């Protein structure tokens, strides 16, 4: 019993389900909605409903799309001979922000995580393999963790023998960091993957 | 009052707690299984970023408070990342399996330093051996059963006392008995499989490369050790990493 009317309590409960939103923030947001005009709230409600109604998974790469194919797969200017394999949809957004990459993507929907019971069958690996016929380079961009490495190795093993170049993102000391503040795991990784000058 | 605790440890499991923190389950040499909170460990520039990963061996320093389920991690130094495992699919699948078996077999705050030696030596061997590493998995499973107090009788039948030539697993009692005492048993171990198990029991882990079981023997022992652990250790039949281990070995 917090003295709030049931409608307000309901919206606080719903908002606090969002990641990173606690009870207090949810209350702040709810009060902000109360102070907002009816039109704005209706617009927000409509945007939420439209999100659920229209946004789906791209049939080809499993990124988010508003039609059968996502904006990246539909873009004929993208280099279809290169595929970047990522764990999640959010990773695509990170690469797109970088602006350097002009190829296509494939979203796996997670990584192999034996301790969580997630095996290759739970990921979009078989349809990745089906897409590789005309691909010249596959960049595996899973996260630098034991799970990410296992997933990368598994994919590389599955496509062995196909005429394509397989690369993995480099790893090591972040730009602008002093060696003194680099932890042992990162330093060991950078040392193992050192490059010729 | 909280007390400082220091120990060697192996990372059994990590769980993302928030955008910046991790909950880490450790098997420590001195205090057994302990869960700690690593605040800030998920921040990209944090000193612990990437260090708290399965199955890294660490020197840990944490604050222990009685009655708390989750202790507070204070400091960590990486002792061994078993780097070669990350470059080999089957070996990393074996490492997942070993670590999960340990996690399921041990209770919270029950110090078992011999088991700590077993897991670290087995991970080290998996990481470095150039030979058949399934012998490392078999060695680990057999010695895990022994350390937990369930060593199978490999010489004499526990029912009749006779020397065992062909053994059968008694699914009800959990013993390995001779075929005369249980002629209807379905999981059988022939002479070669028994001999391989005796070798595993008597060989030092660093000498495992000298064992070369035939593939049929490996399969028999594989099946037996898993079933044996399923019978004796609670929760072992729910191993999640087993499916991937089997998939990779195919």
| pLDDT tens per residue across span B84-122 | 888 899 999 999 999 999 999 999 988 999 999 999 999
CATH number of the domain residue B54 falls in: 2.40.50.140
B100 in contact with chain A, both atoms CB, cutoff 8 A? yes
Instruction: Pick B240's closest partner by Cβ from A116, A185, A192.
Output: A116
Q: Are residues B34 and B113 in the same domain?
A: no
Chain B residues with CB-CB distance to A153 below 8 A: 87-89, 92
Report in angstroms the alpha-carbon separations of B103 from A61, A147, B32, B60, B116: 37, 18, 10, 18, 12
| Minimum-distance CB partner of A120 among B53, B83, B247 | B247
Domains contained in chain A, number:
1
Q: Count structural domains, chain B.
A: 2
Shared domain for B111 and B178, answered yes or no, is yes
Closest CA to B154 of B135, B177, B172, B171: B177
Q: Which position has the higher pLDDT, B19 or B234? A: B234
Quote the pLDDT of residue A27: 94
ipTM here: 0.83
Closest chain A residue to B54 measured between Cα atoms? A146
Helices B134-147 and B191-202 cross at an angle (nearest 10°) of 70
| Average pLDDT for chain A | 92
Q: Are residues B95 and B202 in the same domain?
A: yes
H helices present in chain B, as ranges = 89-105, 113-128, 134-147, 191-202, 215-232, 241-249
CB-based contact B54 A184, cutoff 8 Å: no
Range of the domain at B150: 89-248
**Intervals of chain A under pLDDT 50:** none
Counting every residue, how long is chain A? 197
The whole-number average pLDDT for the span B31-55 is 87
Tens digits of per-residue pLDDT, B182-207?
888 779 999 999 999 999 999 999 99
- Residue B18 — pLDDT band, cuts 50, 70, 90? confident
d(CA B144, CA B233): 10
Please report whether residue A93 resides in a domain. Answer: yes
Q: Which domain holds residue A108?
A: 77-171
Distance from CA of B243 to the nearest CA of A (A): 8
For residue A144, the model assigns a pLDDT of 85
Q: State whether B102 and B51 are in the same domain.
A: no
Statement to judge: residues B26 and B126 lie in one domain: no
Mean pLDDT of B61-78: 93
Q: Is residue A42 part of a domain?
A: no
Distance CA B61, CA B47 (A): 14
Q: How far is B161 from chain A (nearest CA, A)?
A: 41
């Amino acid at each position: 019993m917090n003295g709030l009317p049931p409608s307000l309590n309901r919206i606080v409960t719903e908002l606090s389900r969002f990641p990173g939103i606690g009870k207090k923030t949810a209350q702040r947001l709810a009060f902000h909605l109360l102070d907002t005009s009816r039109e704005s709230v209706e617009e927000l409600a409509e945007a939420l409903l439209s999100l659920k109604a229209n946004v789906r998974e791209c049939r080809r790469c499993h990124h988010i799309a508003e039609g059968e194919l996502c904006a990246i797969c539909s873009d004929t200017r993208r280099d279809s001979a290169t595929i970047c394999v990522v764990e999640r949809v959010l990773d695509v957004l990170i690469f797109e922000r970088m602006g350097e990459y002009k190829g296509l993507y494939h979203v796996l929907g997670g990584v192999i995580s034996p301790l969580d019971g997630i095996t290759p069958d739970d990921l979009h690996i078989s349809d990745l393999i089906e897409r590789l016929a005309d691909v010249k380079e596959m960049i595996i961009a899973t996260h630098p963790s034991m799970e990410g490495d296992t997933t990368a190795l598994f994919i590389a093993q599955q496509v062995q023998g196909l005429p394509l170049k397989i690369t993995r993102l480099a790893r090591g000391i972040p730009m602008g960091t002093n060696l003194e503040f680099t932890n042992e795991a990162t330093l060991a990784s950078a040392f193992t993957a050192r490059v010729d000058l | 009052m909280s007390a400082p605790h220091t120990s060697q440890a192996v990372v059994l499991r990590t769980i993302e707690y928030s955008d910046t923190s991790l909950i880490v389950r450790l098997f420590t040499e001195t205090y057994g299984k302990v869960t700690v909170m690593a605040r800030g460990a998920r921040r990209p520039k944090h000193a612990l970023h990437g260090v708290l990963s399965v199955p890294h061996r660490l020197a840990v320093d944490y604050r222990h408070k009685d009655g708390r389920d989750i202790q507070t991690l204070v400091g960590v130094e990486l002792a061994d990342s078993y780097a070669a495992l990350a470059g080999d699919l089957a070996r990393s699948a074996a490492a997942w399996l070993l670590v999960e078996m340990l996690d399921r077999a041990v209770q919270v705050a029950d110090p078992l330093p011999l088991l700590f030696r077993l897991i670290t030596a087995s991970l080290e061997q998996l990481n470095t051996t150039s030979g058949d590493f399934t012998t490392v998995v078999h060695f680990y499973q057999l010695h895990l059963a022994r350390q937990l107090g369930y060593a199978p009788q490999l010489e004499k039948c526990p029912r009749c006392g006779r020397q065992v030539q062909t053994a059968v697993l008694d699914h009800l009692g959990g013993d390995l008995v001779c075929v005369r005492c249980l002629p209807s048993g379905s999981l059988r171990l022939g002479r070669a499989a028994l001999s391989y198990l005796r070798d595993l029991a008597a060989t030092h882990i660093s000498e495992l490369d000298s064992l070369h079981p035939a593939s049929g023997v490996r399969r028999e022992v594989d099946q037996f050790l898993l079933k044996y652990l399923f019978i004796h250790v609670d929760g072992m039949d729910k191993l999640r990493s087993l499916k991937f281990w089997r998939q990779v070995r195919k």
